[in-house]
C-alpha cells in the first residue's frame, strides 16, 4: 500500500517534470540559436539568469513601487522576462491609453493565471477570463445590468443601505469598519439577490470577504514558478514549496460557495413564490439553459466581488484620510452646510452641486487606488510601440499607483489634497480619475454603481459626523499606522478613530429617516 502510494507520486513527478524539462530545453535552444528580433524589447533590468531571466529581481511586496524605481532608470515602459514569460509594465497614463484603449483589439486578453484557475475564479469571474466567446457573453450581461442608466435603478436600495450605515455610526461608532464592510455587501445582496443582510455578522458578508481576501492573496503567487510553468499545479499539495496549492484549495471552496449559495437560495424562493424583485430573478426568469444559468451565476458573483472590493477599500481610505487631514474635512463640511444644510439628508441629485465633495471623492480614489496594479492584459499578436517589440502573449501591466502618484500630474502626490481637481477658475477639471477602474475593454463594468455608492456615503457621513483621531486616557492622539494590505487589492489595516454626531439635528435627521423607511 505504501509502495503503491509512493509509486503513484513518483509517476506524478515524472509526468509533470518531464514536460517541464522539455519546455526549458526547447526554450533554451530557441533563446540561444534564434536570430535576435530586429527591434528591441522595451528597456528593463538586465537578466540575471539565462533561463530564469529576471525571476530573482521580482519584489516580494509592493511591486508597484519597484516598477516606479525601475521607471526612473529605464523609462515609463519597462520589460522583464521570467523564464518563458514576458511582462511589459506601463507606468504612464498616455501609454496605457495608447495600448489598452486605442489598441484594444490586440490587448483585451488576459494571461493564463494558474493560481486563479486553481482557486475557481477563472471559471466564472469575467475579470480573470481569457478573451473569447465565454468572456463576451458574460461581459454582455454585465453591461446590460450595470450600464449607467441601469445603475440608476439601484439608487433607492443604495440609499436605504447607506442609511443603515449612518445608523450604525450613530449607535456603535467604534465598529465603523464593520459598518462600511456590511454596506458594501448589503447593496449587492439587496439589488442582485433580493436579500437584506444582517447589520452585523451576516453569513454572506463573511463569505464574500473571506473569498475576496483569498483571491487577493493569491496574487502573491503570480510571480512564482507556477505562472511560468502552470503544469506544476498537478503535483501533490504536500510537497515542499507547494503552499500555493494548499492555499488555492482553501480559496476554491470559498469562491464557489460565494457564486452558488446565494443564487440557489433565490431559485428556491422563486419556486415557492417568495422571491423579492432583484437582478437574479429578472435574469433567471428568462434563463433557458444550464449554460445561461452558469453565465448568470458568474455575472452576479463577479458583480458581488467587484463592488464589495471597491467599496470596502475606498471607505477605509476615506475614514483614514478624514482622521488624518481635518482641514480637508472642515472645508467639505463648510460646502455641505452652505449648499444643503441640515434639514434633509443628501441625495444623488445633489452631486452636481457639491463640487468640493466631488473633488474629495476623486482624491480618495486617487490617493490610495483600490488596485495599485491592474490585472494584467495580454497581447494576442506581436506588436510594435515606440520602436519596441512587444511579443504575442506578453503580460501588459498597468501601474495605476504610478499614474496616481505621478508628481508631474499630481504635485506632492502623497498629500491628500482635493483642491488639485480644480482649475484656475474654481471649476472641477476634467480629471475624473477614471483610470483607477482600468482601461480598454477590461475596464470595470461596475464603476458607475461603485462610484454612486462611495460618493453618497462620503457625502452623508461628512454631513452628519465628525471624524478625528482617537485619544488615549491622557488626551493624547493615538497615531494611525497608515499600513495597507499587499496583494491585488489594497485597503488599510485596522485602525481606530473617533466618530461623533455633529449635532442633535444630525442625530434627529438620521433617526427620522430610519423611521420613514421602517413604515
* Binding annotation: 444
Q: What are phi and psi of 466, to 5 degrees?
A: -105, 135
Q: Produce one character per residue of 489-502: b if its CB has 16 or more CB atoms within 10 Å, e if not.
A: bbbbeebebbbebb
Strand order in the sheet with 395-398: 77-82, 85-90, 395-398, 377-378
Contact in structure between 493 and 373 (CB atoms under 8 Å) = no
Distance from the Cα of residue 339 to its chain's centroid: 33
Centre a 10 Å sphere on the Cβ of residue 338 and count the other Cβ atoms it contains: 9
For 11, the 3-state DSSP assignment is helix
Q: Which residues contact 363 (CB under 8 A, 6 or more apart)?
A: 321, 416, 417, 418, 420, 421
Could you give the C-alpha distances from 275 to 154, 192, 195, 248, in angstroms and in order? 17, 12, 9, 34
Looking at residue 423, the DSSP 8-state letter turns out to be -
Contact at 8 Å (CB) between 446 and 307?
Answer: yes
**Known binding site for heme: residues?**
444
Quote the CA–CA distance of 229 and 86 in Å, as a whole number: 13
Name the residue with cell 506632492: 412
Angle ∠(303,265,300) on CA atoms, nearest 5:
10
Residue at grid coordinates 528593463: 44
Amino acid at each position: 500500500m505504501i509502495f503503491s502510494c509512493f509509486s503513484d507520486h513518483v509517476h506524478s513527478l515524472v509526468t509533470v517534470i518531464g514536460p517541464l524539462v522539455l519546455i526549458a530545453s526547447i526554450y533554451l535552444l530557441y533563446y540561444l540559436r534564434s536570430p535576435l528580433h530586429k527591434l528591441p524589447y522595451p528597456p528593463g533590468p538586465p537578466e540575471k539568469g539565462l533561463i530564469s531571466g529576471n525571476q530573482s529581481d521580482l519584489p516580494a511586496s509592493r511591486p508597484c513601487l519597484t516598477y516606479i524605481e525601475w521607471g526612473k532608470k529605464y523609462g515609463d515602459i519597462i520589460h522583464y522576462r521570467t523564464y518563458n514569460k514576458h511582462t511589459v509594465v506601463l507606468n504612464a497614463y498616455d501609454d496605457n491609453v495608447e495600448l489598452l484603449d486605442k489598441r484594444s483589439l490586440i490587448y483585451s486578453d488576459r494571461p493564463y493565471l494558474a493560481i486563479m484557475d486553481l482557486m475557481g475564479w477563472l471559471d466564472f469571474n469575467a475579470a480573470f477570463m481569457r478573451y473569447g466567446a465565454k468572456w463576451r457573453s458574460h461581459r454582455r450581461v454585465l453591461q446590460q445590468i450595470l450600464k449607467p442608466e441601469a445603475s440608476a435603478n439601484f439608487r433607492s436600495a443604495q440609499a436605504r443601505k447607506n442609511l443603515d450605515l449612518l445608523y450604525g455610526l450613530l449607535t456603535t461608532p467604534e465598529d465603523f469598519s464593520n459598518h462600511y464592510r456590511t454596506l458594501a455587501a448589503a447593496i449587492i445582496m439587496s439589488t442582485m439577490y433580493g436579500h437584506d443582510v444582517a447589520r452585523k455578522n451576516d453569513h454572506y458578508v463573511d463569505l464574500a470577504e473571506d473569498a475576496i481576501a483569498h483571491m487577493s492573496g493569491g496574487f502573491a503567487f503570480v510571480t512564482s514558478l507556477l505562472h511560468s510553468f502552470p503544469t506544476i499545479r498537478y503535483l501533490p499539495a504536500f510537497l515542499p514549496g507547494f503552499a500555493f496549492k494548499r492555499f488555492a484549495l482553501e480559496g476554491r471552496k470559498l469562491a464557489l460557495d460565494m457564486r452558488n449559495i446565494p443564487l440557489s437560495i433565490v431559485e428556491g424562493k422563486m419556486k415557492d413564490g417568495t422571491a423579492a424583485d432583484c437582478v437574479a430573478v429578472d435574469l433567471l426568469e428568462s434563463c433557458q439553459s444550464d449554460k445561461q444559468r452558469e453565465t448568470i451565476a458568474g455575472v452576479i458573483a463577479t458583480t458581488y466581488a467587484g463592488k464589495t472590493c471597491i467599496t470596502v477599500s475606498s471607505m477605509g481610505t476615506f475614514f483614514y484620510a478624514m482622521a488624518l487631514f481635518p482641514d480637508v474635512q472642515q472645508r467639505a463640511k463648510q460646502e455641505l452646510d452652505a449648499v444643503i444644510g441640515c434639514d434633509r439628508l443628501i441625495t444623488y441629485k445633489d452631486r452636481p452641486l457639491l463640487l468640493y465633495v466631488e473633488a474629495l471623492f476623486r482624491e480618495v480614489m486617487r490617493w490610495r487606488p483600490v488596485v495599485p496594479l491592474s490585472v494584467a492584459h495580454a497581447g494576442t499578436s506581436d506588436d510594435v510601440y515606440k520602436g519596441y517589440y512587444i511579443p504575442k502573449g506578453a503580460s501588459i501591466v498597468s501601474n495605476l499607483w504610478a499614474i496616481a502618484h505621478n508628481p508631474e500630474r499630481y504635485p506632492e502626490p502623497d498629500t491628500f489634497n482635493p483642491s488639485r481637481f480644480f482649475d484656475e477658475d474654481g471649476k472641477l477639471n476634467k480629471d475624473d480619475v477614471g483610470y483607477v477602474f482600468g482601461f480598454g475593454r477590461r475596464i470595470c463594468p461596475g464603476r458607475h454603481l461603485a462610484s454612486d455608492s462611495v460618493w453618497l456615503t462620503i457625502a452623508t457621513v461628512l454631513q452628519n459626523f465628525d471624524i478625528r483621531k482617537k485619544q488615549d486616557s491622557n488626551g493624547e492622539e493615538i497615531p494611525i499606522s497608515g499600513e495597507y494590505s499587499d496583494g491585488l487589492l489594497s485597503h488599510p489595516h485596522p485602525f481606530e478613530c473617533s466618530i461623533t454626531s455633529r449635532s442633535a439635528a444630525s442625530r434627529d435627521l438620521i433617526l427620522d429617516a430610519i423611521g420613514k423607511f421602517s413604515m
